[in-house]
């Protein structure tokens, strides 16, 4: 059973916005996969003594970079090229919730990562559902399943290193913060 239940559901208007400018969405999706891979590398670099985390983040980094490669192929097949990454207002705003202090910061990084993956799974699922049957729909169904595993991985790691009560309490706080952020962000043809 999934450990993260988002408190805010993405509207149908978001899906319509994405479908209206799918090329822009693909560019943002590629950037999100690249950043997710970078986050995993950063985690394993900062916490080399956490054996389980290092192994999990190494796997995650490779998987996210594989997704990046696949999205780049889609972009190129549509006659487009990748572009410079733009700042993600959702992630930047959510990162403001990170607490100071070694343990608190580590826990928050894991839980933020899990919630961001949960939001990705939700939204990729909406895209998959809206697309016509075919290769693109199959790709987004696969990405949705992958993101769903990632959110659970991040929470499982938090539960490995921290008391369950502390994890569950902080997870609930961060889910509420994330819901407020998502609700207030303007709609755009982007993952967040």
CATH code of 159's domain: 1.20.1260.10
pLDDT in tens, 41-58: 999 999 999 999 999 999
pLDDT in tens, 106-135: 999 999 999 999 999 999 999 999 999 999
Are both 60 and 129 inside the same structural domain? Answer: no
* Count of structural domains, the chain: 2
Classify residue 190: in a domain, yes or no.
no
d(CA 117, CA 94): 13
Nearest to 25 by CA among 135, 127, 131: 127
Are both 131 and 177 inside the same structural domain? Answer: yes
Give 132: exposed, middle or buried? Use CB within 10 Å, 0-12, 13-18, 19+.
exposed
Are both 72 and 120 inside the same structural domain? Answer: no
Classify residue 87: in a domain, yes or no.
no
Are both 99 and 181 inside the same structural domain? Answer: yes
What mean pLDDT is predicted for residues 144-166?
Answer: 93
Nearest to 94 by CA among 176, 20, 189, 23: 176
Single out the residue in 33, 49, 80 at which a domain terminates: 80
Confidence at residue 1, expressed as pLDDT on a 0 to 100 scale: 36
Please measure the distance between the N-terminal and C-terminal CA atoms of the chain and give it in whole angstroms: 25
pLDDT in tens, 82-109: 999 888 999 999 999 999 999 999 999 9
Asked if 33 and 68 count as a contact pair (C-beta separation under 8 A), the reply is yes
d(CA 109, CA 104): 9
pLDDT band at 19 (very low <50, low <70, confident <90, very high): very high
pTM, rounded to two decimals = 0.95
pLDDT band at 151 (very low <50, low <70, confident <90, very high): confident
Burial 45-66 (b: 16+ CB within 10 A, else e): eebeebeebeebbeebbebbbe
Arithmetic mean of pLDDT over the chain: 95
Are both 45 and 75 inside the same structural domain? Answer: yes
Confidence at residue 148, expressed as pLDDT on a 0 to 100 scale: 87
């Amino acid at each position: 059973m999934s450990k993260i239940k988002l408190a805010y559901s993405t509207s149908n208007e978001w899906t319509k916005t994405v479908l209206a400018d799918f090329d822009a969405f693909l560019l943002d999706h590629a950037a999100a996969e690249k950043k997710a891979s970078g986050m995993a590398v950063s985690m394993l670099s900062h916490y080399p003594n956490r054996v389980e985390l290092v192994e999990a983040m190494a796997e995650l980094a490779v998987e996210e970079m594989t997704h990046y490669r696949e999205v780049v192929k889609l972009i190129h097949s549509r006659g487009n090229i990748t572009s410079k990454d733009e700042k993600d207002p959702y992630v930047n705003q959510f990162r403001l919730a990170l607490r100071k202090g070694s343990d608190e910061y580590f826990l928050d990084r894991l839980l933020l990562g899990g919630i961001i993956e949960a939001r990705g799974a939700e939204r990729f699922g909406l895209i998959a559902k809206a697309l016509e049957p075919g290769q693109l729909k199959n790709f987004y169904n696969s990405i949705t399943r992958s993101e769903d595993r990632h959110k659970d991985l991040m929470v499982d790691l938090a539960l490995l290193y921290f008391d369950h009560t502390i994890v569950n309490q902080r997870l609930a706080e961060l889910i509420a913060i994330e819901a407020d952020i998502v609700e207030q962000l303007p709609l755009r043809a982007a993952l967040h």
